[in-house]
Structure 1
């Protein structure tokens, strides 16, 4: 059964490696993949074309982002180089020495380089040549973080793509027996938030009508770029596990993996873990508990998304979310801290229902 499913879906991991943050099973669940300057985009959405002022801000923002990269690039330690690389990744026509490829390569060789750097380096690849993820980075992660299920799920996706069925099945078992799941979004947020203040944003980079001004723009830039973090092919894992059928060994590994994912670093991984319990557990009580927990998770993510929308007009909120990012941790720990600090309960109100995506 596992082999047949892999053969039928060899390409499912590729969209996830390009930073896709939504699964079919949880399309309402993710840290919003916010454009770097979503406030401006939302304001312009109702217009047929951007105003001259909006176009000028776009140009100023890109120039500011390039300047940030230039200031950070001479650094020799891993954290600012990771920040510079992440800032450079969406930019076109960068000088070779300030490109994502050059900067993430230097970060990988710098003092303090860790699995978070290797994870970001997964995106240093040629998607058009079907060469993603970066195989050298994946090999390094297998050495640096052998107890991280996220790494083994990445390898499962790569092996599935290459039609290595037995290896993919082995990867599933190793993921299930790992100690944690971490996609290092928290580390990327820390690198970005720690780097964003090296230059003051010029006045032309933000909408003068925005009450948060520069700090609001900085917060949206940090969270927007972090939202493009590489991801394993969790949708493939969901399908493999849902269709385990009479394969008791695969079902057991999927249930074990699901328990681990329920405590994963991201809302996306937690949602998949709860989904696996809901569809694979034999006990109806366990199924209902998983369904209820996923409802709370959606509440948490949507509530955090609402906090993010406030950074444009609430400087204190923007500063606080940047401070949380600089503190490090995981995406999920940051999200829950933000809710707690704003007196938002982690459990959804009894009469609340998730809003439909789109």
Structure 2
């Protein structure tokens, strides 16, 4: 997939495009349906393209960043778009204030350079400081450049249109089961395994501590069942491991910052420095401050028992407790 970063005007494009518009955070079921409909509009020489609006400020205060965390940061979003057949991605410029975005400028000055045969948007399309009238305004502007607009009906769940905002709220609330239903896949965080204080290993639960995950929406503190994907370079394939995920602040051991750690069931190996993906399947419980480490260990064994039972795994471990993970 070709990625074009836009700072002002895009380069002139000669190949005919079917262009989908939106922010596409999460690539949820609604986005997937929109891309599916766009593929059906492709003619012989057409290219499926996406213009992803970025209305988040390029620089922001740390306290403001929480509200702008993403379901799929840039790299993950790009990978998902490739898997859905997108051949060209335009990543729009960032705006200090969404009110600075002009749909008129986008259509008449930017899209007009791209040889767009068809623009495709969802019925809830809304960008910048516009209201629900964004679709109607888009159609009016595209008439001026002779480009038809296809409006795709929203995919609904429980009577409401699926949206990235709703899914972010569900993840923050720990409702990963519902978030997964709306996404059409498990909510996943990808990070690099970093050295921690190795408390998990001391307690008999060696964990992979994920670093470089600040851009992701943080699931509510607690313990989750999940899946971990690891790239096996020796055999050139991905390995999947069932796991327990601890997300939160680790109050029993004096933790101060939010962390995501994965305990891979029956895994033995050194993952330090590797990039892994951790998917949240189901929440087992909230985060608890235990009166002692012994009480924490008892609960961790109970968490593991429940997870193994739910996964249909043997209740006893097949790897030694002192795994180097």
Q: TM-score range by the shorter chain?
A: under 0.3
Q: Over alpha carbons, which structure has the higher Rg? A: 2
Structure with more of its chain in helix, by fraction? 1
Pick the structure with more strand per residue: 2
- Structure with the bigger RCO (C-alpha within 8 Å, sep 6+) is 1
TM-score by length of 2: 0.24
TM-score (norm 1): 0.22
